[in-house]
Structure 1
Amino acid sequence: RLVWTDKERSLGVVDGAWTKMYNNLVDFHREHKHCMVSTRMEVKMDDGTSKNLGTWVIRQRTALSEGILKKERKQLLDDVGFVWEIDHYDVDSSLRARQWEEMYNKMQAFKEMHGHCQIPVNYKEDPTLGKWARNQRAFERTGRLDETRFERLDVLGFVWDPCGSHWNDMYTKLRAYYDKHGHCQIPISYQEDPVLGKWVRNQRMLETNGTLNDDRFERLNALEFVWSPNQMRWNMMVNHLKEFTRVHGRVSVPDKYITADGAQLGWWART
């Protein structure tokens, strides 16, 4: 930041307004590591008013081109890496391009650390990254994402449809359960994976409401998915009865017999 000496003040070389704007530029550079200021960037002055830092930056370039920028001021601006040769009307787009690259680099770092690009919108460690990822999906859906950027994200393994990706992950878990147990009768309160139990329930609700797409319906049917909760309960109780018979060597279940997972097998067998 620029601080004037008493001698300089006494000689009348101090321009308080210019100094204030310059110091704001220094602060901007310290935070962003560049001087590509957007024309929408407002800063507060000592008198409480707001000034446009981006417009001030443009005026410095204009002053240089017209030969009226003081040599001392140019040196001060050079010291913070001021960019002199730039299309005034392209500052915002250049800034956005730089910001996009910064966020893409963050995405790469996330991928290297976690092995995937499934960043939640409310990513607590870096909320801006989660929102940026959401915006890229929105741009892609509306045809506003540059083709080169799309390809770079795609190669990185960017998840364009988080909901679809989540569904596939849960389906993989369900298939593993089916391979292990021979059925998909997962209770809602499935303790080993509560999320899977709720997901199974949600698939039934979607099918009942007519909002489960045909492809997913067929994939679930391939695992002998039980769509009716009543049918699922019946099948579960039958399996409990088979297990009781295997262990005890009889099918006569005591009236008050309850299974390890809380199923009232005795009551069910009696009714």
Structure 2
Amino acid sequence: MLRLSARRGWRLARSLQTAPVSACSEAIQRVALAPRHFNSTLTGGETVSGGDVRNGTKVVGEHWRTYAWKKKILAALRTYKQLNGNLLMPIRFEIPSGDERWPSVTWGYRLGKAFKWDRIILPALQEFYRVHGHTDVPKDFVVPSGDEAWPKLTWGHRLGITVGDIRSKKIYSSQVAASKEELDRMSFCYHISIAERDWAEKILPSIRVYRQVFGDCFVPYLFIVPSLPAWPMKAWGMALGAAVCDIRYGRTYVYQVVRDKDVLDSVGFAWNRDAAMWNDVIIPSLETYVDIFGGGKIPQKFVVPSEVPWPEEAWGKNLGYILSDLQSKGTYFGFYGRDIEKLGELGLNQKLSSRAWKKRVAPLLDLYMELHGEEEVPHDFVIPSETPWDEKMWGVRLGLIVARNPQFTPRKC
């Protein structure tokens, strides 16, 4: 007799485990012949589905499905119960071929996997789809126990882990193939990873459209893909800005980014948004402004015209507000600090607000004092490219910043 460990098995229903052999047939039929929509592989890759149409009619297909189920599955369940006294069936259980105790039609059939797919996994996926509108099941998702909305056999099942294994380890491959029509109806992603699907259907197409619409790839962090025809429908409502930020920091889509780097470069993807804004928008726009207007204070509401000779990447950008934030909030401070001499040559006011000074400069001066004592910062002092200085501040001309903001330094008597 087969010995099966309860720890390796999966429990169906208490009534089926405790029913005597003579009474098990009715109990098994109540579970096995409950309404079903799709079933898994039968023999030699043959499949039967509730959606099949045999002899030109759906009714014939349904009768064939029920007949095949009764002949194979129900017979196998009865035999398993008779031989083992329970239905604690391991997922890997396969009916031994040539064993006369089993109906010959069931020989070689992977009863554990097929039954679990039909009665637990697929019904759980269908209910998840009904509740959430998609089948991107989180890895830690477990079917809630005691919730009557879910089939009882699915209660407590770690659906997220199962779904992940289907995608990565390709388990239940024959069942997935047999249920393809139903899985496709639910847009279940089973042939590639979620990351690969989202990259191909959402991220990359959205980046391309962003470039077409805005003329650059400086996607701000809070940008959400609008629900408009120009944008890929599957990406509507997606937080593209946050996704792009994660891409820049190497947190997500690492494989896809390396593989498609040439594609991203071809659309001008900004690997470092601040650096791209400074080098491709702010400095070129300042230079063009000086060439056209001869310098002077740039109005806060000044917007870069969408025409030559202005840099195309800067068209429509509010240069006035960008410069105002630079002085009042200390934005782009590292770039400001490295290019402060150039800004002076362009006639830009380099004085910072009290807020920007306290936020950006004061911490640097504190560190300078720790390292060099109370001595005055020389005009030519440049933050060295070494610890304990923050790497983002390397190359900042701290001495020149102090010299051009005398309002914050005490006067010597």
Relative to the length of structure 1, the TM-score reads: 0.53
Amino acid in the other structure paired with 1:111: R
Contact 1:117/1:159, CA 8 A, preserved across alignment: yes
Deviation at 1:22, TM superposition (A): 1.6
State the distance in 2 between where 1:25 and 1:144 align.
28
Cα 1:31–1:12 shift into 2, 3 Å: closer
**What CA distance in whole angstroms lies between the structure 1 residues aligned with 2:302 and 2:172?**
70
Q: CA deviation at 1:28?
A: 4.7
Is the counterpart of residue 25 in structure 1 residue 125 in structure 2?
A: yes
Q: Deviations over 1:123-159 (max 9, x none)?
A: 133343221111110018xx98753232221122111
Q: 1:121/1:191 Cα in 2 relative to 1: closer, same or farther (>3 Å)?
A: closer
- CA separation of 1:137 and 1:94: change in aligned 2, threshold 3 A: same
1:174, CA displacement in angstroms? 3.0
Q: Distance in 2 between matches of 1:93 and 1:131?
A: 23
SS of residue matched to 1:123: coil
Question: 1:118 and 2:118 equivalent?
Answer: no
User: Which runs of 5 or more structure 1 residues have no equivalent in the other structure?
Assistant: 1-8, 83-90, 230-271
Measured after TM superposition, the shift of residue 24 of structure 1 is: 4.0
Distance across 2 between alignment mates of 1:64 and 1:150: 33
2:295 partner amino acid: H
Partner of 1:47: 146
> Which amino acid counterpart does residue 196 of structure 2 have in structure 1?
A
1:179-258 maps to which residues of 2 (within 5 A)?
Answer: 179-186=291-298, 190-192=300-302, 196-201=319-324, 203=326, 212-214=336-338, 216-227=339-350
**C-alpha spacing 1:186/1:63, structure 2 compared with 1 (3 Å):** closer
CA contact (8 A) 1:136 1:145 kept: no
1:97 paired to 2:196? yes
Aligned to 2:262: 151
How big is the shift at 1:122? 0.9
Question: In 1, distance between residues paired with 2:192 and 2:172?
Answer: 23
Structure 2 contact 199–256 (Cα < 8 Å) conserved: no
Offset from partner CA, 1:217-265 (integer Å, 9 cap, x none): 2432332334459xxxxxxxxxxxxxxxxxxxxxxxxxxxxxxxxxxxx
Secondary structure of the residue that 1:79 maps to in structure 2? helix
- 1:108 matched to 2:225? The reply is no
On the 8 A contact 1:184/1:226 being kept in 2, the answer is no
| Identity score, percent | 18
Distance in 2 of aligned mates of 1:227 and 1:99: 44
What's the offset of the Cα at 1:211? 7.2
* Counterparts in 2 of 1:128 and 1:43: CA distance versus 1, 3 Å: farther
Q: 1:62 to 1:217 in 2, by over 3 A?
A: closer
CA distance in 2, matches of 1:62, 1:226: 65
Q: Secondary structure at the match of 2:249?
A: helix
State how 1:54-133 maps to structure 2 within 5 Å. 54-57=160-163, 58=165, 75=178, 77-81=179-183, 94-102=193-201, 103-124=203-224, 125=226, 126-133=237-244
Distance 1:155-1:211 versus aligned 2 partners, 3 A rule: closer
- How far apart, in 1, do the equivalents of 2:242 and 2:273 lie? 13
RMSD, aligned CA: 4.6
The residue matched to 2:193 in structure 1 has which SS?
Answer: helix
Q: 1:147 to 1:38 in 2, by over 3 A?
A: same
Any conservation in 1 of the 2:301–2:321 contact (CA below 8 Å)? no
Q: Which has the higher helix share?
A: 1
- Alignment partners' CA distance in 2, 1:202 and 1:169: 15
Structure-2-length-normalised TM-score: 0.37
Distance 1:154 1:123 in 2: 20
CA distance in 2, matches of 1:52, 1:113: 43
Listed as ranges, the gaps of 5+ residues in structure 2 are 1-28, 37-115, 148-154, 185-189, 227-236, 304-316, 353-413
Q: CA distance change for structure 1 residues 135 and 51 in 2, over 3 Å: closer, same or farther?
A: same
For 1:9-41, what per-residue CA distance to the aligned partner results, in whole angstroms no more than 9, with x for missing partners? 758423898546424434659956xx7x66715
User: Match of 1:123, as an amino acid?
Assistant: F
Distance 1:92 1:78 in 2: 11
How many residues of Structure 1 are paired with residues of Structure 2 in the alignment? 198
How far is the alpha carbon of 1:78 from its aligned partner?
3.0
Contact 2:208 2:267 in 1 (8 A): yes
